[in-house]
């Protein structure tokens, strides 16, 4: 039987998330970005999904990643745009333009923090948001995304 080619999901992390592990551990925990990316890869695999993980501290580069996801026919996006979630209409517009099923993740509970974190532009372009589960939010998001796009885990 022919081996099926894995579908790709993009996992996009925005500014300062490269500092996970050392950045405000009381808020973001002790796991590193490499831990997050490993978690995404092992969570995606049973669904026949490959997690293409990117991080950038630059808004324009994150937009380019979203365009690239579209060009490469990615079947889903998990995005934690960091502080750009709260400011970037351009990232919102990029997600709206590509129409790829998207889940927004925040490690911390943005609604229990400063008022300026309470609103997310990117969340408006996502079909679901997870906030406050720590890095487990990425695992939950991939499971939710897989269910949404009809991918079943293989035994």
Binding site residues, ligand DHK, CB under 6 A: 16, 80, 82-83, 106-108, 110, 117
Catalytic amino acids? 28, 106
- What's the min distance (Å) between Cβ of 107 and ligand DHK? 4
Long-range contacts of 118-125 (CB under 8 A, 24+ apart): 119/86, 120/85, 120/86, 121/85, 121/86, 121/87, 121/88, 121/89, 121/91, 121/92, 122/79, 122/81, 122/84, 122/85, 122/88, 122/91, 122/92, 122/95, 123/85, 124/92, 125/91, 125/92, 125/95, 125/96
Task: Between 100 and 110, name the residue whose CB sits nearer to ligand DHK.
Answer: 110
- Closest distance between ligand DHK and the C-beta of residue 143, in Å? 18
Nearer to ligand DHK, 17 or 75 (CB): 17
Closer Cβ to ligand DHK, 70 or 111, answer by number = 111
């Amino acid at each position: 039987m022919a081996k099926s080619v894995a579908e790709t999901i993009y996992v996009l992390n925005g500014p300062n998330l490269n500092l996970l592990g050392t950045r405000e551990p009381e808020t973001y925990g002790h796991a590193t970005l490499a831990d997050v990316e490993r978690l995404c890869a092992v969570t995606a695999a049973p669904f026949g999904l490959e997690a293409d993980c990117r991080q950038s501290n630059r808004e324009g580069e994150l937009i380019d990643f979203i365009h690239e996801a579209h060009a490469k026919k990615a079947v889903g996006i998990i995005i934690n745009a960091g502080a750009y979630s709260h400011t970037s209409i351009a990232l919102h517009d990029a997600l709206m333009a590509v129409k790829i099923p998207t889940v927004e993740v925040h490690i911390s509970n943005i609604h229990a923090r400063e008022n300026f974190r309470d609103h997310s532009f990117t969340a408006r372009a996502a079909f679901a948001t997870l906030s406050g589960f720590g890095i487990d939010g990425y695992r939950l998001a991939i499971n939710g995304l897989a269910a949404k796009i009809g991918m079943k885990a293989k035994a």
